[in-house]
Amino acid sequence: MYGLTEIFAIVAGFAALIWGADRFVAGAGGLARTLNISPLIIGLVIVGFGTSAPEMLVAGVAGWEGNTSLAIGNSLGSNITNIALVLGITALFFPLTVHSNLLKREFPALFLISAFVIILFIDGELSKIDGIALLVGMIGFIIWMIYLSKQSAGKDPIEQEFEEELPAQLPAGKAILWLLVGLSVLLIGARVVVWGAVSIAQALGVSDLIIGLTIVAIGTSLPELATTMMSAKKGEHDIAVGNIIGSNMFNLLGVLGIPAVIHPTSFDSSVLTRDIPIMLFLTITLYLMAKNGKDKHGKINRYEGAGLVTAYFSYLAILYYTHHG
């Protein structure tokens, strides 16, 4: 059956991405703990970067092979999936409470980064200069998070949650080994996923952008789903929500920046008229949910979780009708 090989390749590639990201985080986090780096910095920077590693590696491979539209779809689609599907499903099972001061500062940063991306996208092209600007922004974002982590040391509720969840301290040699193994498996998985996704897109007669927004976005968001669900189950709600916010910022900066530097491209106007507005709508909705508590704690309840999941499937319906229209 034509297409069975490609489907198997995508499934195997996603499995490799998930395992590779886990080993990458274990190695990087273990090495950081050995070097006595703050749990807050490890959690926000290393773990946040690690859960976005599948998207970044897929974006890099897609850009290298000239499929930058797939990377654009992966970036925006992953952000939509993270909020609507990942947080939505999580809230259905484990209603979330948000009370970290650090998270309140991260939301404005996410809005600022989103606005920056829109400005770069207005001309309908993702140029090399745009890519460089996004990657510089990512470096600045990492520095900003490290600064906030130091300022919030011992004061932010999320710090204790990170302390309990971070990878164990590892000998330097073993940590570096896992770091390299994880990165290698991520690269292989990304290559396989891109090949399978592009092949399926060609077979179905749909664009790389659509495949990136849907199949690839869902697959590369699986690490976020696993991390968010496990954190919420343990009552570590700030990590659950913070993981999504941080991942979305990395997606906008790194996942868009890497392929733009490698292979600049123009993109379909629907990105500006359909996908970015929906991403912004969901981001604002999440912010309002996180701030909707009567006290200083925001809550995302089961009804709101159901609303987010419904919004995701509504988005898929919009994609279907706009594509076939």
The gap from C-alpha 55 to its chain's centroid, in whole angstroms, comes to 7
Q: Are 73 and 211 in contact (CB under 8 A)?
A: yes
Closest CA to 78 of 223, 277, 245, 220: 220
Tell me how far CA of residue 243 lies from CA of 36, 133, 158, 226, in angstroms: 22, 24, 11, 11
Where does residue 205 rank: exposed (0-12), middle (13-18), buried (19+ CB within 10 A)?
Answer: exposed
In whole angstroms, what is the distance from residue 203 CA to residue 39 CA? 46
Better-predicted residue by pLDDT, 42 or 107: 107
Angle (deg, nearest 10), helices 222-233 and 237-250: 160
| Res. 206: pLDDT tops 90 | no
| Res. 102: pLDDT tops 70 | no
Q: Report the percent of the chain where pLDDT is more than 70.
A: 87
| Res. 167: pLDDT tops 80 | no
In whole angstroms, what is the distance from residue 223 CA to residue 23 CA? 12
Q: Which residues contact 221 (CB under 8 A, 6 or more apart)?
A: 78, 81, 82, 85, 86
Q: What pLDDT was estimated at residue 308?
A: 97
Domains and CATH numbers, the chain: 4-324 (1.20.1420.30)
The β-bridge partners of 299 are 97
**Terminal Cα distance for the chain, rounded:** 29
Length of the chain, please? 325
pLDDT interval class at 142 (50, 70, 90)? confident
Where does residue 122 rank: exposed (0-12), middle (13-18), buried (19+ CB within 10 A)?
Answer: exposed
Q: Are 157 and 39 in contact (CB under 8 A)?
A: no
Q: Are 100 and 238 in contact (CB under 8 A)?
A: yes
Q: What pLDDT was estimated at residue 253?
A: 95
Residues 219-229, mean pLDDT to the nearest whole number? 85
